Chain A
Amino acid sequence: MNPLKTAGHPTQRIDALKRVTGTATYTSDKHFPGMLYARVLRSPHPHARVKSVDVSKAQAMPGVKAIITRDNCDVVWSSGDTRNKRYLFNNPVRYAGDAVACVAAIDRHTAEEATRLIAVEYETLPFVLDAEEALKPEAPEIQPGGNLSADDKGKREAEVYKRGSLDRGFAEADIVLEDRFQSAHHNNAQLEPRVSIALWEGDKLTVHAATQGIANCRTDIARDLKMPVENVRVVCEYMGGGFGNKNQCQDSDLMAAVLAKKTGTPVKVEFSRKEDFISVHGRWPVTQYYKVGAKKDGTLTALQVRGYSGMGPYRKGRGDQGGPEVYQCANVEQSVTTVYTNMAVSANYRAPAYPHSVFGLESVMDDIATRLKMDPLEFRLKNMTRKYRDSVEYSSIGLEQCLREGAAKFEWKKRWHEPGLDTGNIRRGAGMGMGGFGSSVGKSEAILKVDSKGQYHLYVGVTDVGTAAKTTMGLIAAEELAVPLEKVTVHWGDTADCPYSVGESGGRTTSFTGVSVVEAAKQLKKQIAEKGMPKGSDMLTASVVTDPDTKGLARYSFLADFCELEVDMSTGHIKILKFLAVHDSGRVINPLTAQSQVQGGVIQGLSMALHEELLYDKRRGIPINAGYYGARIMTHLDVPLVETMFIETDDPFGPFGAKTLGEPPIVGVVAAVANAFFNATGRRIKSLPFSRDKVLDALGKKEVLA
C-alpha cells in the first residue's frame, strides 16, 4: 500500500483535551432553565395484564407536573420492535421491567417518590424465559400470533440458508460430530446511563439524546410522534458508550418529548443503572445444535447448525447467528429461529450475531481437529473461506495472513499442545478462534467548506461513541486535501448543521461517511482550482452524497484471536496469560485509536466468556443480578495486556483502503478462550459464561461446590 501523509499514523483524538478535563458535555451534563426530571415506573412481573393504573396520589404530590401512562399516551416506539406494535407503555406488560408510567417533577427525588405512589393493579399471566420452551404448544402466548417471531418477509418460520446437500456431505464424511452450545443474555453496560432531554419551541422539537446516530434518531422520533422530520432536531456531542444499545431513538427520547409538550417545559428523562440493565437490552442468548462432517484429511464435508435466539418479548434485534461463512464447505445448512420470551429484551451488542455463535462453531471445529489429530491452526488454514459462501469473491481478504502471521507472533507451535496433556493443579493451554464481519458500504453525506484564511470546516453527522469517529473523519479529509489535521475543523453531533450519516453501528462510519468525506474533499479541491481560494467572508462549499456499491463483491473484515490461559483445577479459576488479536480491517486510518478499539473489544469478549450473565429467578421470572457487580464486568484487576496486530489489506471500496474495525474485535474472543480451556484441561464447556460452577462441573469436581 502506498504510504499516506496524515492518515495512517498514530494521532491523538481531536477532542482528547475535553475528555481529560471534564469539559466534554454529555447529555446528562446539560441543564436548561425550568427543566423537569422524569422517572419511570416499571412492571415487577414478567407477564401481566394491567387492569388499572391509579395516578391520583402521585398527581397530588407537590412538585409533580405530569404523568404519562397507557391511559393518556399511546405513542408507538417503532424502533423498539420491528414486527409488533410496541407502545411506550404496553398492556400486557411482557417482561419484568416493562414501562408502566413516567413521572415528571421538579426534581428527581420528587419524581422518584411519585412513582412509588402510583397504584397499579396487575393480573399476572404465565410466563416463559427459555426460547425452546417458548415454542412448545403449552407455552403462554407473548405476542399475538405466537412466540415464533416472523422473518423479514413476515413469515413465521426460521431463517434458513442452504448450499449443496447435507445428505451428500455427511455421506462423504469420515467423522461426524454433533453438539449443543448455549449462551447467556448479557448487557452492553456502557458507562453512561440512558438520558434524554426534550425541549419544544412551538411545533419544533429539540432532543438532546445519548444516541449512536443523530440522523436515524431524528427520523425515528419524527415518525413516532407523527411530525415532519424538519421540525425535529437531535443533538449529541459527547456520548458515553452504547455498543449497540443507543442505536435509533430510545423510548426515553419519546417520553421526554411527550412530557415536555404536556408541561411546556424542558424535561430530562433518566434511567437508573438497574433500569439500564433490565429495561434496555442485552445480547440475545442463543442455543445452537451443530452437526459437522469431515474427511480424514481434515476437509469439511458438511456443516449443519440449527439455532434459536431468545429475543425477549419484543423484536428489537435481528437475532441472527453468524460465523459459518468463514468456513469453506460444499454442503451447509443453517437455520435460525427467533423466539419471543419474557426475559429482558435482546438486541444489538457489539458484533451482535457473532461472539456467542462463533463460540459454538469454533468449539466444534476444534473438536473435529482434535478427533483427526490435526493442529487446529492447520485445520483452519485448510478450511478457511476463500470466497464468500464459496461463490462470491471478496473485495480483499487477509484471513490467511491473520492466521499465519498471528500464529508466528503468538508462538502457536510452542504454546499449543495436545489437548489435556498438561498435568498438575495449574494447567496451561492455548486456543484460537477465527472470524469475519461484514463490512458494508452505503449511503452517506458530508459537507466541506473552506474559508478565506485557508481553514477547512467539515460537517459530518457522527456523534463519536468512543471510536474516535470525528478524528477519523478529520484525518480522511486532511489526507485528501493534503493539509495538516489542524487545518480541518470537524463539526459533528447536531442535525441542525450536520448532514446524514448512517449512525455508529455495524462498523459502518469509516466506510460510509469516510467515502463521502473523500469525495467532498475532491470536489472542493476542484472548486479551488477553478475559482481560487475564497476572499473576505466568502466560503467555498462542497456538499456530497455518496452511495457506492461493491460491484458484486463480498466485503468483509477478518480476524484471528489467540489465547493462552491457566486453569486452577481445584478452584476452577481461569487466568488469561496472553492474548493476541490479529485483524484485517483494511488500511488503518488511526493506529492509536484502532489499538484502543481492539484491546477494548477483546476485553469485553473476555468478560463475556468468563463472567457475564443476567441471572433470573426462574420461579418468578425476575432478573436478580442487574448491575455491574452482579454482571461481574471486568475491571482493571482482571485484564491481561492485549497484544494487537493489523494485517493491512488495501480494500478498493473504503477510504484509502479502510474496512470495518469497531465491531470485529469481540468476534473470536470467546471461542479462543473456550479452545484454550479445552487445550489446558481436555474438557469442554458448552455454555456461557464460564462461571466457576460450570468450570468445576466440566472438570468433574462438582463436589467442591457442595
Chain B
Amino acid sequence: MGKISRRRFVEGTGAGVIAVTAVPLEAQQKKSAATASGAASASAAPRTKIAVTINGSKHSVEVEDRWTLNELLREHLELTGTKLGCDRSECGACTVLIDGKAMYSCTQLAVWMDGRSVQTVEGLAKNGKLDPLQQAFIEHDAPQCGYCTSGQLMSAKALLNRNPRPTRDEVQHAMAGNICRCSNYNHYVEAVIAASDTPSAKGGKA
C-alpha cells in the first residue's frame, strides 16, 4: 500500500490510502508512525474521495463510506479535541460546526462532508489568541472533567455567531443538546453570557 506523510495529508495534497494510516498523538510516537502499517488496510469497505474544509484548510481525502465525521476527525486527522460520548446523538460531546451550524459529528457521515466546511475546537483560537468563549470558560471554571467542553464551546460559538447578545434563557436553549454530567451548567451559561455582548454578565443572572 502507498504511504503518505502526515504533513501532505494535512495540507490536503494527500489522497487515497492515506486515510488508513494510523497516526499516534504523542510527539515521540510520530517517529514510529512513519513505519506503522495502516491499521485498517485489510478493510474492503467502499471508499469515496471528498474535498472538505476543516478549520480553514482544504483537505482532499478518501474516506470509508461507513466512517462518521467524528471518526474522520479523531482517528484519521488527529483532531481529538472533538470527543465521542455516546455515538448516538444523545450527549453533544462531539459537537462541531458544519457550515457554521452546530451539529453532532457522531451521526454525520464523513462522505456527506464533501464540499462543506467544518470547524472544531482546535479551530477556535486564532493566531495563538484564545476565543473569548475559551477565555470565559477558563475564568468561570466551566469545565470540570472537561469531556463535554469542546461540544459546549462549539454550540456556544454557533449561538454567538448568530446572536451576539443572548439572554440566559436563549443560551440554555441553544446548548440544550450538550449534556454535562458533572452538571456544571450554571458555570457554562455564565461563561457564555460573559463572552457575549450581553450587558451585566457578572454573576450569571442575565
Contact = CB atoms under 8 A, between A and B. Distances in A.
A and B bound?
A: yes
Interface of A: 12-13, 16-17, 19-26, 28-36, 62-63, 106-107, 109-110, 188-193, 238-241, 243, 272-273, 465-468, 592-593, 595-597, 599-604, 607, 627-629, 633-637, 639, 641-642
A178 B25 CA distance: 60
A38 to B, nearest CB: 13
A607 B183 contact: yes
B145 A32 contact: no
A603 B183 contact: yes
Given A35-B22, A272-B87, A628-B91, A635 B176 contact: yes
A31 B184 contact: no
A349 to B, nearest CB: 11
A64 to B, nearest CB: 10
Interface string B30-67: 00110111011111110000000000000000001010
A599 B184 contact: yes
B25 A29 contact: yes
Given A109-B43, A600-B182, A190 B145 contact: yes
B183 to A, nearest CB: 4
Contact of A22 (B81, B142, B145, B187): B81
Interface residues of B, number: 76
A16 B23 contact: no
A191 B180 contact: yes
B159 to A, nearest CB: 11
A627 B36 contact: no
A33 B145 contact: no
Interface hub of A25, A189, A241 (most chain B Cβ within 10 A): A241
A403 B176 CA distance: 34
Interface of B: 22-26, 29, 32-33, 35-37, 39-45, 64, 66, 74-75, 79-88, 90-91, 93, 120-122, 124-125, 130, 134, 137-139, 141-150, 153, 171-173, 175-189, 204-205
Contacts of B182: 191, 241, 466, 596, 600
A393 to B, nearest CB: 35
A191 B82 CA distance: 13
B70 to A, nearest CB: 11
B145 A191 contact: yes
B186 A639 contact: yes
A273 B85 contact: yes
B102 to A, nearest CB: 13
Interface hub of A189, A599, A627, A635 (most chain B Cβ within 10 A): A635
B165 to A, nearest CB: 18
A467 B183 contact: no
A603 B87 contact: no
A22 B121 contact: yes
A26 B134 CA distance: 19
B75 to A, nearest CB: 8
A191 B130 contact: no
Nearest to A18: B146
Contacts, number: 213
A637 B80 contact: no
Contacts of A238: 146
Given A192-B85, A193-B86, A637-B176, 7 more contacts: A21-B125, A34-B36, A63-B43, A191-B93, A240-B147, A596-B182, A607-B183
- 5 cross-chain pairs, A with B, having the tightest CB-CB distances, nearest first: A22-B81, A240-B147, A466-B145, A603-B183, A33-B36
Nearest to A605: B183
A636 B178 contact: yes
A639 B125 contact: no
B145 A31 contact: no
B146 A21 contact: no
B24 A33 contact: yes
B149 A19 contact: yes
Contacts of A190: 145, 147, 181
A191 B81 contact: no
Contact of A596 (B144, B153, B173): B144
Contacts of B74: 29
Nearest to A274: B88
B183 A639 contact: yes
A414 B149 CA distance: 39
Contact of B187 (A273, A596, A627): A596
Contacts of B88: 273, 627
Interface hub of A19, A20, A33, A239 (most chain B Cβ within 10 A): A20
A26 B146 CA distance: 10
A599 B148 CA distance: 17
B147 A273 contact: no
Contact of B146 (A30, A466, A597): A466
Contacts of A63: 40, 42-43
Contacts of B86: 193, 273, 627-628
B183 A600 contact: yes
A193 B125 CA distance: 27
